[in-house]
Amino acid sequence: MFKRLVIVASTLTFVAATAAACGGGSGGGGTSLGFSQVGAESGWRTANTQSIQDSAKDAGINLKFADAQQKQENQIKAIRSFIQQKVDVIAFSPVVESGWDTVLKEAKDAKIPVILTDRAVDSKDPSYYATFLGSDFVEEGRKAAQWVLDTYKGSNETVNIAELQGTTGSAPAIDRKKGFLDLIGADPKFKIVASQTGDFTRAKGKEVMQAFLASHQKIDVLFAHNDDMALGAIQAIEEAGLEPGKDIKIVSIDGVHDALQALVDGKENYVVECNPLLGPQLMDLVKKVKAGQPVDHRIVTTETTFTPEQAAAALPQRKY
């Protein structure tokens, strides 16, 4: 009992100290942020959630976190509940691009600023959100395609490509496909022979790859819109008695630990990075937006690419 009292007392002291430290105008003290996350579908998403939770804590921002389990209706419900609770700022990562105008207008009418993180919406009215912080997904698709072009440079043979798409209707699935096709489409030797959604998960990636292998004799390259689907596909390829990275070359997007390991193990060939560690930048934006300071309407995160050699060098420091 005594021990418990001591813990409670020291926790209270800590909370008071934190509140005092963050109580100034530029701190997060007293700021509430409602955040609606897509789900927990991938390694990228887990790292993104962790980053947001950690940096909210560091910034002294009171985070109300809701997991939508990949369902738009859950995100809309969460946003409405944040409006009712009168949070200072709402942020969310929209699972799909369309269908947000009504709820975004509700937030605007309630004078609660909205920040988009990671994924975009297709709303025509730019005043529905203060800023969009996230990657350039078209560019990521182009980088993946550039690697395919470089790999088959000088060869005249047909290259059969299978594509595992992300969640149907999501910004990264739409944009990565577009960026990839922008470059690949210019040369008729590249043929996309199979293309289906694997919903950004390992399980679906494996299942869809099994179906691709059953219905296609020759697949030279797999382009997966994220690492988790590629990792699932690697299992399917191995179970079919083929060697991933050799019989079928693989390029995917994200740069999570397991994919870098697959590169080092020779089971993948190239990974395009998409940075999930958006938390610190998001918390800065939350404070600025709450204080009525101007922010850029679009903030693009910077990212790299990984060959097996670069993956080997990066792996020891990779936190996710």
Of 38-46, 60-68, 262-270, 296-304, the segment contacting ligand GYE by CB under 6 A is 38-46
> What torsion, rounded to 10 degrees, do the Cα atoms 36, 31, 102, 133 define?
-60
Choice between 29 and 172, CB closer to ligand GYE? 172
Within 55-114, the residues that bind ligand GYE by CB under 6 A are: none
- Strand partners of residue 272: 253, 305
Choice between 236 and 253, CB closer to ligand GYE? 253
Tokens for 218, please give them: 């020759």
**213: CB partners within 8 A, 6+ apart:** 219, 236, 237, 240, 242
User: Using the rule CB under 6 A, which residue among 45, 143, 249, 287 binds ligand GYE?
Assistant: 45
163 lines the binding site for ligand GYE (CB under 6 A): no
The least distance separating ligand GYE from the CB of residue 118, rounded to whole angstroms, comes to 5
Instruction: Using CB under 6 A, count the residues that bind ligand GYE.
Output: 13
Q: How far apart are CA 81 and CA 71, in angstroms?
A: 16
User: Using the rule CB under 6 A, which residue among 226, 232, 233, 285 binds ligand GYE?
Assistant: 226
202 lines the binding site for ligand GYE (CB under 6 A): no
Tokens for 27, please give them: 């701190």
Local structure of residue 60 (DSSP, 8 states) = T
The least distance separating ligand GYE from the CB of residue 253, rounded to whole angstroms, comes to 6
Local structure of residue 36 (DSSP, 8 states) = E
User: Using the rule CB under 6 A, which residue among 118, 163, 258, 268 binds ligand GYE?
Assistant: 118
Local structure of residue 188 (DSSP, 8 states) = T
Within 271-290, the residues that bind ligand GYE by CB under 6 A are: 274
Choice between 88 and 227, CB closer to ligand GYE? 227
Residue pair 228/199 in contact (Cβ under 8 Å)? The answer is no
Choice between 48 and 269, CB closer to ligand GYE? 48
Identify the CA nearest to 192 among candidates 163, 233, 230.
163
Q: How far apart are CA 287 and CA 46, in angstroms?
A: 24
Of 42-50, 60-68, 143-151, 309-317, the segment contacting ligand GYE by CB under 6 A is 42-50
172 lines the binding site for ligand GYE (CB under 6 A): yes
254 lines the binding site for ligand GYE (CB under 6 A): yes
H or E element, residue 209: helix 202-215
Choice between 253 and 289, CB closer to ligand GYE? 253
Tokens for 47, please give them: 């790292």
Choice between 119 and 287, CB closer to ligand GYE? 119
Residue pair 91/61 in contact (Cβ under 8 Å)? The answer is no
Q: How far apart are CA 107 and CA 85, in angstroms?
A: 12
Other beta carbons within 10 Å of 58: 13
41 lines the binding site for ligand GYE (CB under 6 A): yes
Choice between 119 and 267, CB closer to ligand GYE? 119
Chain positions contacting ligand GYE, by CB under 6 A: 41-42, 44-45, 118-119, 172, 200, 226, 228, 253-254, 274
